[in-house]
Amino acid sequence: MNLKRSSALLGVLAAAGALTLSACGSDNNTSSNGAAKIDVACGGKSSLKSSGSTAQKNAMDLFVAAYQTNCSGAKLDYTGSGSGAGVNEFIGNQTDFAGSDSPLDAKKGETDKAAARCGSPAWNLPMVFGPIAVAYNIDGITDLVLDPPTIAKIFSGEITMWNDTAIKALNTNKADKLPNEKIGVIYRSDESGTTDNFQKYLTAAGGYTKGAGKTFNGGVGEGVKGSDGMAAAVQGTKNTITYVEWSFAQAQKLSSVHVLTTATSNDPKPVELTAESAGKAVDAAKVAGEGNDMVLDNSSIYKPTAGGAYPIMLATYEIVCSKYSDADTAKAVKAFLTSAVGNGQSGLAAAGYVPLPDAFKTKLTTAINAIQ
């Protein structure tokens, strides 16, 4: 496997470092995603700056378009630098809010550092829900079934061949099609909340012993920077597998694993990743944080108790100050976030995300309104 020779990958990596989204004023009554204008308390700072998660990049396109429609002359520059960089830049007061695939980590001091930067507690607001696809490239197979322990063993190097007996046992109707080829694991080389969430899932559901965190700990495979890069690498390289946000897997037309959720007693059938199965997981998600700090209880997603719920789900947070030192910044941030949960939801499903359930919209709107 030689990823460096993949022209598709090289093209992606050349652009991955500078993902910038901007919203400029417009007199149109609909956004570029076709969403009608809604009433928003616009005003405040005319130009916002944010950075972080590449997983939410495509959703941010829609949010920015909605913000542009609602607030003439408003601007937001969002740089998809990765969750780790986004949190660091927010803590360093370089941005107005951060995008992250994981909430602030108190053990790493992020919670205290963010509070010091804000002069008030920082809140984690889960604004974007997107499934993490276990995407692969095997000739002739588009419906591969894997269970959590087998996925964990692949990403920790314990299972190395596509025709391993464990994989064949889960795919008896296509066992003879599984190639006698080495599994090429592709992992995220830069710090990423997607990696953190995926490893947490493997630990909770698959017995993965390598630990979680924003750095991949599996000790196998080849690292690639950014979600775009990972998806392009698998698309361009046979017999590879990766974990990547569904929107990027869709963009590269990759096949995704059907996950056998054995913990789901009501329906032990393999769950195909669809908008419906992802929506069931979001509906079951529970909030573990207190008040307006809406940190999620991931175990409610990773080990679903309802049939047909896809268990590998990523919640992308916007990390904001509960009280900004500058009232103009607070007003603009609130206007953007209000747009995001409002007409910004239009088109999310087509982009590979799960639109916010009504219950979450209500909770998020309460938190957004409370920002000072």
Residue 58 CA to residue 227 CA, distance in Å, equals 11
- What pLDDT score was predicted for residue 19? 33
Position with higher pLDDT, 276 vs 257: 257
Portion of the chain with pLDDT greater than 90, in percent: 67
- The 8-class DSSP code of residue 343 comes to G
- What pLDDT score was predicted for residue 193? 82
- What pLDDT score was predicted for residue 322? 98
Name the strand (E) or helix (H) holding 145: strand 145-146
Give the residue range(s) of CATH 3.40.190.10 domains in the chain: 18-130+318-370, 132-280
Residue 99 CA to residue 80 CA, distance in Å, equals 9
Position with higher pLDDT, 325 vs 315: 325
The label of the residue with tokens 């197979």 reads 141
What average pLDDT does this structure show over 310-331? 95
Q: In the predicted model, is pLDDT for residue 265 greater than 60? A: no
Instruction: Look up the pTM and report it.
Output: 0.74
Annotated binding site for phosphate: 53-55, 83, 101, 192-194
**What value does the mean pLDDT of the chain take?**
88
pLDDT by residue (tens digit) across 4-26?
A: 433 333 333 333 333 333 333 33
The label of the residue with tokens 């032990």 reads 268
pLDDT by residue (tens digit) across 134-172?
A: 999 999 999 999 999 999 999 999 999 999 999 999 999
- pLDDT category at 1 given cuts 50, 70, 90 is low
- What pLDDT score was predicted for residue 31? 57
Closest CA to 162 of 273, 264, 241: 241
pLDDT by residue (tens digit) across 223-254?
A: 999 989 999 999 999 999 999 989 899 999 99
Those residues whose C-beta lies under 8 Å from the C-beta of residue 73, and which sit 6 or more positions away, are 24, 25, 46
Those residues whose C-beta lies under 8 Å from the C-beta of residue 108, and which sit 6 or more positions away, are none
Those residues whose C-beta lies under 8 Å from the C-beta of residue 110, and which sit 6 or more positions away, are 87, 91, 104
Which CATH code is given to the segment(s) 132-280?
Answer: 3.40.190.10
Burial 208-221 (b: 16+ CB within 10 A, else e): bebebbbbbbbebb
- What pLDDT score was predicted for residue 15? 33
- Distinct helix (H) and strand (E) counts, the chain: 13, 15
Fold classification of 18-130+318-370 is D-Maltodextrin-Binding Protein; domain 2 (3.40.190)
Annotated binding site: 53-55, 83, 101, 192-194
pLDDT by residue (tens digit) across 22-51?
A: 333 334 566 555 678 999 999 999 999 999
Q: In the predicted model, is pLDDT for residue 369 greater than 50? A: yes
Joined together, the tokens standing for residue 213 give 């965190």
SS (H, E, C) 73-104: CCEEEEECCCHHHHHHHHHCCCCCEEEECCCC
pLDDT by residue (tens digit) across 173-230?
A: 999 999 999 999 999 999 888 898 899 999 999 999 999 998 999 999 999 999 899 9
Joined together, the tokens standing for residue 300 give 């409610």
- What pLDDT score was predicted for residue 282? 84
Q: In the predicted model, is pLDDT for residue 3 greater than 60? A: no
